[in-house]
Chain A
Amino acid sequence: MSNSKIHLRASNSNITLPKRKAVALISGGLDSMLATKAILEQNVHVEGLNFFTGFCVEGHTQALRKKDTQKQKRNNALWVAEQLGIKLHIIDIVEEYKSIVINPKYGYGANLNPCLDCKIFMIQKAKEWMLENHFDFIITGEVMGQRPKSQRKHLMPIVAKESGAEDRLVRPLCAKNLPPTLPEQQKWIDREQLFNFSGRNRKPQMNLANTYGFAEYAQPAGGCCFLTNEHYSKKLQDLWTHRGEKLYELDDILLLKVGRHLRPRPHFKLIISREEGENHYLEGYCHQFIHLRPLSHPGPIALLEGEPSAEDLHLAAQIVARFSSRRTEACVTIQIQQGRDDPRTLEVIPLASEAIPEDWYI
């Protein structure tokens, strides 16, 4: 499939062999970094793919908050690609990915994480990319038995088959536990230089990282997808329940990552910023929502989603006042504006902390 060539001397004659090309799924974590390195070591040209679903746990989203300013503001997949010296293509799959989240063939994990369907879908996209770009095979950092939902031994052939990648899917970290793939059979890569990792023990990966001289690598706690997060999944489920349909847009799922989410009544919800960075972010959405902000003193911006009555708006204003810096004052002035309409103000008594039932928090 590849046009590029390398020249090898064998049996005293010049033989021209194609330099094989592999596309690696790069998450930004250690496993895909090691898997890619293992194939690079075998003189294969590798380029990386990273998929943007909208649910990705991004340092930057978290870095909206001051408490997260210590976190490195970097994209781990780009960082890994740079360490490996490979190109990385970041692919926007937000629209196509919706069907995976909304209707996963293999169901959800502990939360709204459709891990098996997601894995199949991403490898299918990688296969399309491989064919379009005349690459030869696909690499993933999967390790047999490492993930309860998507990396169990009996599921690995299903992923290879359903994605259409079949025997062009190489999992270098656990290849020796699996039947030889086409690149191994054809000697494009040497099976003996691949690995037999399995299970949840991370020590083999750490040892291999040492061997390769990787002193630094990302170790995301809780994975790289918000759908594995119980709190986030609860907010997504709430969105579906109260809209009466299992659909979403990109802005919906991005906003679920930001602020406090409270549903004081079934027909409206508030997204209240927690600090300045979130205020700036929510500011960008004000033209699409009814929004509230304290006028008499600094405080949070809140977006209101739903169809509130006058009474509901008063309650919303009281809640916003509760999260402002003057929550103990007798009266706080809150500005309410619908999109870009003329704003109006309400004078409200901040709601007492104990007057906000726990079940309003989503």
Chain B
Amino acid sequence: MIELDVRKLLCPLPVIRVQQAIKTLKPGDILCVTATDPGVLHDIPAWCRIHGHRILTTRKLERELQIEIEVQA
């Protein structure tokens, strides 16, 4: 599991960081993103859908959000 901290960043920066991180990963890797902007709950899944990556879980914690992505080919 690879961790990506995008707390305090507002969209689209979290999406850009996810895009950059996934470029360095291989199919089957899991990227765990921690964010604070609620917009990520919409934008990161949207970005993953159009690029064919799989959202495994999304979790809302008290002041943080976590999204786990499985990288696809």
Q: Of A52, A64, A75, A281, which one neighbours B42 at CB under 8 angstroms? A: A75
B38 x A58 contact (CB < 8 A) = no
CB <8 Å contact, A60 and B39? yes
- Min CB distance B51 to A, Å, is 6
- Which B43-73 residues have a C-beta within 8 angstroms of A? 43, 46-47, 49-51, 63
- State the main secondary structure of chain A at its contact with B: mixed
Residues of A within 8 A of B2 (CB): none
Q: DSSP majority for the B interface?
A: helix
Cα distance A89–B51 when bound, in Å? 9
Contacts between chains A and B (CB distance < 8 A), count: 67
For the complex, give the distance between the alpha carbons of A58 and B36 in Å: 16
Chain A residues with CB under 8 Å of B49's CB are 82
Interchain CB contact under 8 A, B43 and A75: yes
**Whole-angstrom distance from the CB of B60 to the nearest CB of chain A?**
14
Give Cα A335–Cα B42 distance, bound, in whole angstroms.
Answer: 37
Chain B interfacial residues counted at CB < 8 A:
21
Q: Is the CB of A90 within 8 A of B46?
A: no
- 10 closest cross-chain pairs (CB), A and B: A60-B39, A284-B8, A78-B46, A60-B11, A73-B39, A75-B43, A74-B42, A92-B16, A90-B16, A60-B10
A-B contact pairs, 15 of them (CB 8 A): A52-B13, A73-B39, A73-B41, A73-B42, A74-B42, A74-B46, A75-B12, A78-B12, A81-B50, A88-B47, A88-B50, A92-B13, A280-B36, A280-B63, A284-B8
A-contacting residues of B (Cβ < 8 Å)?
Answer: 8, 10-13, 15-16, 19, 36-39, 41-43, 46-47, 49-51, 63
What 12 new A-B contacts, CB under 8 Å, besides A63-B38, A78-B43, A89-B19?
A60-B10, A60-B37, A63-B39, A75-B11, A75-B42, A78-B46, A82-B46, A87-B50, A87-B51, A88-B50, A92-B16, A280-B63
Question: Which residues of A approach B to under 8 Å, CB–CB?
Answer: 50, 52, 56, 58-61, 63-64, 73-75, 77-79, 81-82, 85-92, 254, 280-281, 284
